[in-house]
Amino acid sequence: MTHVLTLIADRRSGLLSGAIIARVREALGGGAPDVLSPCEAVDIACAAPPDLDAVRAALEDAPVDAIATPAKGRRKKLLLADMDSTIVTAETLDELAAHAGLKAEVAEITRAGMNGEIDFREGLRRRVAMLKGLSVTALEETWRALGFTPGAHALVATMRAHGATTALVSGGFSFFTDRVAGRLGFHIHRANVLIHDEHVLSGAVEEPILDRDSKLAALEELAAASGLPLCATLAVGDGANDLPMLLAAGLGVAFHAKPIVAASARARIDFSDLRALLFAQGYHAGEIIEA
């Protein structure tokens, strides 16, 4: 069998039933299912790349994610993750803008940028300029209110335990990536830097801005530094600035992504949490390191 189809349901739902698995297996002519986590995740071996249209038809609109991968080299040795709305549940710049009473205005520019409607660098400069004069104490207050996406700790901890390098690469800000990386255990973090005088924000960001090209360059650089081919890498993100790295990675996953990203990425997670990225690599539940 040359390929594997992984079916994943939200673990709280327990919706991955035997009937669903049987329908998909029959549609593909797949092998015996390998249960990765009961009622949550299963692998089905396939003799050829699975027809995802046939899979979706067999799922009959059940809220179950399906990821197809080659059977060889499933476990990746480099993880490159976006931060906002991927590793953390919010857009940190939008939340920071709330302290200036500008969340709605900033969030609209964020939405346009993440959907690829405006240039990311232009949008970032516009949003940061709106925060000129905001007290730096708002940064700490925003950090304290942030929540981690379910499965984030497990993803990083499990891949680290199996020898992978983990990197957080964000179009957001180093103030947050430094803290998120420290809390979750990322080896590396990169992001943009807000300029301030230790009292208030200047309304500017250090150049050059970390954008979509920078994320792709980071993937290529970190893979080369570890002597890895790109097929040994995993990238995950949700916005248009993540798309180049998602398309270049061996396994590039659009996670609860914006429409342009979900439509273009080769793999997508719409219903499950970040543990899905471990199941897509063939990890069983007993191998996953939880918080």
Q: What is the mean pLDDT of residues 30-34?
A: 96
Four-residue CA torsion sign, 262, 267, 270, 273: negative
Four-residue CA torsion sign, 250, 92, 120, 258: positive
Helix 174-184 vs helix 137-145: crossing angle, to nearest 10: 40
Check: CB of residue 226 under 8 Å from CB of residue 77: yes
What is the three-class DSSP state of 228? Answer: coil
Of 93, 184, 82, give the one whose Cα is nearest residue 142: 93
Local confidence band at 65 (pLDDT 50, 70, 90 cut-offs): very high
Question: Would you say residue 291 has pLDDT above 80?
Answer: no
pLDDT for 144 equals 98
Check: CB of residue 264 under 8 Å from CB of residue 243: yes
Check: CB of residue 9 under 8 Å from CB of residue 21: no
**Hey, which residues are catalytic here?**
82, 84
Residue-wise pLDDT tens digits, 84-123: 999 999 999 999 999 999 999 999 999 999 999 999 999 9
Query: In this structure, what token pair is assigned to residue 128?
Result: 């940061």
Local confidence band at 257 (pLDDT 50, 70, 90 cut-offs): very high
Q: Which residue has the tokens 């939200």?
A: 10
Q: How many angstroms separate the Cα of 86 from the Cα of each of 48, 82, 148, 151, 167? A: 31, 6, 9, 10, 13
Domains of the chain with CATH codes: 1-72 (3.30.70.260)
DSSP secondary structure of 151-207: THHHHHHHHHHTT-EEEEEEEEEHHHHHHHHHHHT-SEEEEE-EEE-SSBEEEEEPS
Check: CB of residue 20 under 8 Å from CB of residue 46: no
% of the chain exceeding 70 in pLDDT? 100
pLDDT for 14 equals 81
> Taking the model in full, what pTM does it have?
0.97
Local confidence band at 11 (pLDDT 50, 70, 90 cut-offs): confident
| Cα 260 from Cα 230, distance rounded (Å) | 23
| Cα 127 from Cα 124, distance rounded (Å) | 5
Question: Would you say residue 1 has pLDDT above 90?
Answer: no
| Cα 141 from Cα 210, distance rounded (Å) | 24
Q: How many angstroms separate the Cα of 201 from the Cα of each of 120, 128, 143, 170? A: 20, 9, 16, 20
pLDDT for 209 equals 98
At 13, which amino acid appears? Answer: S
Calculate the CA dihedral of residues 256, 261, 266, 267 and round it to 10 degrees: -10
